[in-house]
Chain A
């Protein structure tokens, strides 16, 4: 330090230093009695925002109490990672096709959302699922139709 370091400055530094230390201690002491802000995860579950991007899932519509998937396969074709498999079936030849099986290999999904955008029936959305730890690779393959059944 090149500046002259006088006795006055020395005393002033000690004064301001100890004052700011005391202010700091007051801040932490007040924090000691504030309510905690962390979520106790396995005991408490956080509420996800509506825009959270989990894996995709089918939307339940009120008119037929089911999804509107027609198994057109646009989602499977547009998927950059090729993780979607859709199978549909017709009950008779003149009927519309109806989605029966819908699998997504979530371990390879990049959550780009192209499938949601491209769906002509608007029956896909991002779920709020955030507990995505799996024990094997096959656990990462999600059966979306089964999920819809379970949510009924």
Chain B
């Protein structure tokens, strides 16, 4: 071994060293967290829905039904996975996988605290936006491969909706990125202080971001993709058992990621009163998830033209004006 090869070896060991360890441990934790988080959010959703409608929600399995979603998961795993004869089988099989993988990948750049981040990237926010828009592809694949008219209509709606709502989402995120002058998640958080979050200077952007992330994750009142009253259950009409559960897992994980994004961008990330750390991040993220659940059980579903009008006539102009005002302020002061 001569000396010229040493830097390369160093690079390899560097890759296998702390970064590799962080990657392996982090991904293991994420792979554990994602299903448990979905189970917990399903439980929260059903409980909140119940109490808003003055009924108790699941009560039978475990104290106050706390084990209900675990039992549901067991049931879903036991069920037969039916593939329709007319379905495009490879695409039909692939769609749920493509739904759930980007949701997991997004965890890589989320800074839970100043040290708990799997991989620091200088384009962390762009990575999350890029991967979360792959979910649109999975919905399109699921809808097309099912060979079912309801699924196809749902898929078309999903694509139109995600195109319309990604623009104000990015615009509202941009105004924060302009302020903190970085695409790095951890730097955006570091730019905020424990008592002064971005939401205090950018309330309009925060509201637009939450609305658009609700639409991006296909949650009510923007859930035209799985509008039960018109489209049976939308793109996953033909899916059974664990494949259907994967779509649900993707939806709830996307909800958590959207809330984490909002926490990072607007609500001060891991900063909080008295001390900083993962506690504040998780607390804020779950509070925002609670808000989306609360919104779902409050508002009726939009009609499709109202959905489009709302995005193009209300959200995009306001987000643009907000971005412009932010840019002018930063330039002048």
Show the binding face of A for B, using Cβ within 8 Å. 10, 14, 21, 24-25, 27-29, 31-38, 40
Contact = CB atoms under 8 A, between A and B. Distances in A.
Contacts of A33: 51
A36 B50 CA distance: 9
B14 interface: no
Given A14-B314, A21-B299, A28 B294 contact: yes
Contacts of B294: 25, 28-29, 32
A34 B59 contact: no
A34 B56 CA distance: 11
Contacts of B200: none
A24 B296 CA distance: 12
Interface string B252-295: 00000000000000000000000000000000000000000011
Interface in B50-73: 50-56, 59
A36 B298 contact: no
Contacts of A37: 54-55
A18 to B, nearest CB: 8
Contact of A31 (B51, B56, B314): B51
Interface in B165-192: none
B129 interface: no
B93 interface: no
B59 A25 contact: no
Given A14-B314, A32-B48, A38 B297 contact: no
Interface residues of B, number: 17
A56 B294 CA distance: 48
B317 to A, nearest CB: 9
A40 B59 contact: yes
A34 B298 CA distance: 15
Contact of A24 (B48, B54, B299, B314): B299
A11 B141 CA distance: 39
18 contacts: A10-B313, A14-B318, A21-B299, A25-B294, A25-B295, A25-B298, A28-B52, A28-B297, A29-B294, A31-B51, A31-B52, A31-B54, A32-B52, A36-B50, A37-B55, A38-B55, A38-B56, A40-B59
A27 B297 CA distance: 11
Contacts of A28: 52, 294, 297-298
B51 A32 contact: yes
A28 B318 CA distance: 27
B313 to A, nearest CB: 8
Contacts of A36: 50-51, 54-56
A13 to B, nearest CB: 9
Contacts of A35: 54
B287 to A, nearest CB: 13
Contacts of B314: 14
A25 B313 CA distance: 23
Contacts of B298: 24-25, 27-28
